[in-house]
Chains A and B, each alone.
Chain A
């Protein structure tokens, strides 16, 4: 009888340890906005992490880039937030200020992550009002110059342009000597990023330092917007009617293309296209500023926060930031930027230019502010209104948003 009880007890113990071991597999949901080749890369990285960490299972929630932030708001607002999410630096204050994110200071320390290991500009983007809410994965290089080498050769141009005069005259030469357009420009938010970059090159900014008023309705701002308008209407080196600008450049129908470096995989697919990538010219004042942004890992606020999941999420984040060698953007961790894989890629070039990065201002109503500017800019680019009117209109709207 006693033996039986003993056997039973032993069995029970074995069963219990087995079940606790199984229960220790922490499952976390992870929501990001990557699409296309980036999404495939992210899938690989997540799969690899899951393989190396049997006690954690990260499940990617597929979403779309289009209305990612609407959907993230809806998820947090309805108490169905993912355990971990990706938020751009420019959107982080909007979520943080509304208490939708969990402060990370304590967890960051525990995980052994420290500011010195990261590129400073990227790291700082994770903070709102001196509290850390995000850990940067990368630095997205959203504005670079793609150039078609064959078209440049046909037009007798050796090196890509480095300033405005060169840019315009090269574009004109390409258009004269080939049957392609000089420049192809993207629309939508990409056009805003391009305009943003020249805004800072020319010496203006989106808002003043205190973040209380618009700071683009001035000579510098007008010059910046006028430049893009002129490419369409004065020099006529860019077509207005392209709904698929990347496609057009890929098919060799334009000499230059200004957009994010993440478009490279799409261009690589075209075998007969010889193209190069470089940083955008210093269009104004010999200033090479350009729009930058980071993907940050954040922990959305839950109805009930599970510390186990937070810990698992932090372990995942910690691993991810160290394994971005083949990621499409510049790694945020200094150590990774010094590896061969990064230095030998298009991302390596950008590293020299880190001081020129300009992150969007930390505004809690960034969505409204950017929409206001982008739409005024679109109207000007289409030739519907002149540059001065556009900026005046945008300034009035931005000031009223900031004044609320």
Chain B
């Protein structure tokens, strides 16, 4: 009896210690993650503006409205095309650069630094640099492209080019991050594997496709997933460089959510749009889990 009491006391104390350790984190977690998720759903069922003087419960009306909101579908399409362009470009380029950089040569360190550095620049700096490079008349890009007989291209004012232009700027900004991840992945491949391959006569490109690439799969999966999730949330570049224009060609989901809630006075609808974005990201994450299980 006394023993049971003591062990109850001990487990109570153990429990308490555990809770004390996680308490600070869960305070923030509750306030800034759980509560907004629940509150966001409630808001998505109402019609309200930012002032909040007049809140009406409208059920699923906001979700129904999306079905006929052409602007929403365009934003969804733009987000999808951005992702479809950004992810493969980013990953392929990062693998290539990592392969090149993961060798011994003079200037290796500084080359990696130069490729990585843009990642550290602020999103506004990135946007400014590319606004200037994309300048149709005086920008560097159109000037040098003219020697190749290309252009002049109206990078950010032509609706059919603008989104691609934003992708290029984004890849320039973020690829360094992925190069580092892939290099780390490559360094984890044991040298014995390569030595064994050399004995088999596997060299050069052959070696790259037969050995490096398959062994990089875990890293590649991680990078792809992170890149997809990041692409779904792209906002800053678009907001600063094009503001969603021209003719709505670069209006991605988060930009549309921002406009809806904070320019068009429709916070209820913005909350509903956020929930759809949330669901989309959930789907991607679940696919990720399944995909990672597979191996």
Give chain A's interface residues, CB within 8 Å of chain B. Answer: 67, 69-70, 73-74, 76-77, 94, 98-100, 187-188, 240-243, 301, 365, 367-368, 371, 375-376, 378-379, 382, 384, 396-397, 400
Contacts and interface: CB of A to CB of B under 8 A. Distances in A.
Name the prevailing secondary structure of the A interface residues: helix
Contacts of A70: 262-263
Contacts of B265: 73, 94, 98, 365, 367
Interface stretch (B24-32, B47-55, B190-198): B47-55
Contacts of A367: 263-265
Residue from B49, B52, B160, B247 whose CB has the most chain A CB atoms within 10 Å:
B247
B154 A73 contact: no
A371 B266 CA distance: 15
Contact of B54 (A69, A77, A98, A188): A98
B247 A241 contact: no
Contacts of B40: none
Contacts of A382: 154, 157-159, 246-247
Interface string B254-267: 00000100111100
Contacts of A240: 154, 157
Nearest to B136: A241
Interface of B: 49-54, 68, 70-71, 135-137, 152, 154, 156-160, 245-248, 259, 262-265
Given A99-B53, A376-B247, A187 B263 contact: no
A243 B155 CA distance: 10
A382 B263 CA distance: 26
8 closest pairs, A vs B, by CB?
A77-B50, A241-B136, A379-B247, A378-B247, A375-B247, A99-B53, A241-B154, A375-B248
B159 A378 contact: yes
Contacts of A67: 263
Contacts of A187: 157, 246
Nearest to A379: B247
A384 B264 contact: no
Contacts of B159: 378-379, 382, 384
Residue from A187, A188, A382 whose CB has the most chain B CB atoms within 10 Å:
A382
B157 A243 contact: yes
